[in-house]
Chain A
Amino acid sequence: MRHFLEFEKPIAELEGKIAELRHLNADGEVNIEEEISKLQAKVDRQIRTTYSKLTAWQKTLVARHPDRPHFLDYVAGLITDFTPLAGDRVYGDDSAVLGGLGRFRGRSVMVIGTEKGKDTETRVKHRFGAGYPEGYRKARRLMEMADRFRLPVITFVDTAGAFPGIEAEQRGQAEAIARSIEACLALRTPLVSVIVGEGGSGGAIALATGNRVYMLEHSIYSVISPEGCASILWRSAANAQDAAEALKLTAQDLLQFRVIDGIIEEPLGGAHRNPEAAIQAVGDRVEQALAELSEIDGGVLRARRKEKFLDMHQTLAA
Chain B
Amino acid sequence: MSWLTDFVRPKIQALVGRPDQPENLWHKCPACEQMIFYRELIEADYVCPHCGHHMRLGVKRRLEMLFDDGRYQRIELPKVEPDPLRFRDQKRYSDRLREHQAKTGEQDAIIVAHGTIAGNKAVVAALSFEFMGGSMGVAVGDGLIAAARLAVLQQAPLIAITASGGARMQEGILSLMQMPRTVIAVNEVKDAGLPYIVVFTDPTTGGVSASFAMLSDIAIAEPGAIIGFAGPRVIEETIRQTLPPGFQRAEYLLEHGMVDMVVKRHELRATLGRLIDLLANPKPAAAIVPFHANDADRAQAIDVEVADARPERDAAE
Contact with B along A172-211 (1 / 0, CB 8 A): 1111011101101100000000000000011011100100
Interface of B is mostly: helix
A residues 223-245 near B (Cβ < 8 Å) are: 223-224, 228-229, 231-234, 242-243
Q: CB distance B256 to A170 under 8 Å?
A: yes
A234 touching B187 in the complex, CB below 8 Å, given contacts A165-B241, A172-B258, A174-B214 = no
Q: CB distance B235 to A185 under 8 Å?
A: no
Q: CB distance B80 to A202 under 8 Å?
A: no
User: Does B263 reach chain A (CB closer than 8 Å)?
Assistant: no
A residues 36-95 near B (Cβ < 8 Å) are: none
User: Does B31 reach chain A (CB closer than 8 Å)?
Assistant: no
B206: A residues at CB distance < 8 A? 202
B101: A residues at CB distance < 8 A? none
Q: Which residue of B lies closest to A245 (CB)?
A: B88
Q: CB distance A169 to B247 under 8 Å?
A: yes
User: Does A30 reach chain B (CB closer than 8 Å)?
Assistant: no
Q: Which residue of A lies closest to B141 (CB)?
A: A313
- A223–B87 CA distance with the chains assembled, in angstroms: 14
- A239–B173 CA distance with the chains assembled, in angstroms: 19
A306: B residues at CB distance < 8 A? 184
Query: Least Cβ distance of B248 to chain A in Å?
Result: 6
User: Does B212 reach chain A (CB closer than 8 Å)?
Assistant: yes
Query: Least Cβ distance of A2 to chain B in Å?
Result: 30
Q: CB distance A312 to B177 under 8 Å?
A: yes
Interface of A is mostly: helix
- Between A170, A173, A223, A257, the greatest number of chain B beta carbons within 10 A of the residue's beta carbon is seen for A223
User: Does B2 reach chain A (CB closer than 8 Å)?
Assistant: no
* B172 touches which of A181, A223, A233 (Cβ 8 Å): A223
Q: CB distance B173 to A259 under 8 Å?
A: yes
Q: CB distance B174 to A257 under 8 Å?
A: yes
User: Does A104 reach chain B (CB closer than 8 Å)?
Assistant: no
Q: CB distance B211 to A181 under 8 Å?
A: yes
Q: CB distance A165 to B239 under 8 Å?
A: yes
- A213–B174 CA distance with the chains assembled, in angstroms: 14
Q: CB distance B89 to A164 under 8 Å?
A: no
For chain A, which range describes its interface: under 10, 10 to 19, 20 to 34, or 35 or more residues? 35 or more
Q: CB distance A202 to B179 under 8 Å?
A: yes
B256: A residues at CB distance < 8 A? 170-172
* B173 touches which of A172, A179, A181, A254 (Cβ 8 Å): A254
B229: A residues at CB distance < 8 A? 162, 164, 168-169, 173-174, 177, 202
User: Does A222 reach chain B (CB closer than 8 Å)?
Assistant: yes
- A231–B234 CA distance with the chains assembled, in angstroms: 10
Q: Which 6 A-B pairs have the closest CB atoms?
A: A164-B230, A173-B229, A174-B209, A233-B89, A312-B177, A177-B210
Known: A174-B229, A205-B180. 6 other contacts (CB 8 A): A177-B211, A178-B214, A223-B173, A234-B90, A246-B87, A313-B80
* Residues in B lying within 8 Å of A, measured CB to CB: 80-81, 84-85, 87-90, 138, 141-142, 145, 167, 169-181, 183-184, 187, 205-207, 209-215, 227-230, 234-235, 237-239, 241, 243-244, 247-248, 256-258
* Residues in A lying within 8 Å of B, measured CB to CB: 162, 164-166, 168-175, 177-179, 181-182, 184-185, 201-202, 204-206, 209, 221-224, 228-229, 231-234, 242-243, 246-249, 253-254, 257, 259, 306, 309-310, 312-316
Between-chain CB contacts (< 8 Å), 29 pairs: A164-B230, A166-B239, A168-B229, A169-B229, A169-B235, A169-B248, A173-B210, A174-B209, A178-B214, A181-B179, A181-B211, A182-B215, A202-B229, A222-B176, A223-B167, A223-B171, A223-B176, A223-B207, A224-B167, A246-B87, A247-B169, A248-B172, A249-B172, A249-B173, A309-B180, A309-B181, A312-B174, A313-B80, A316-B84
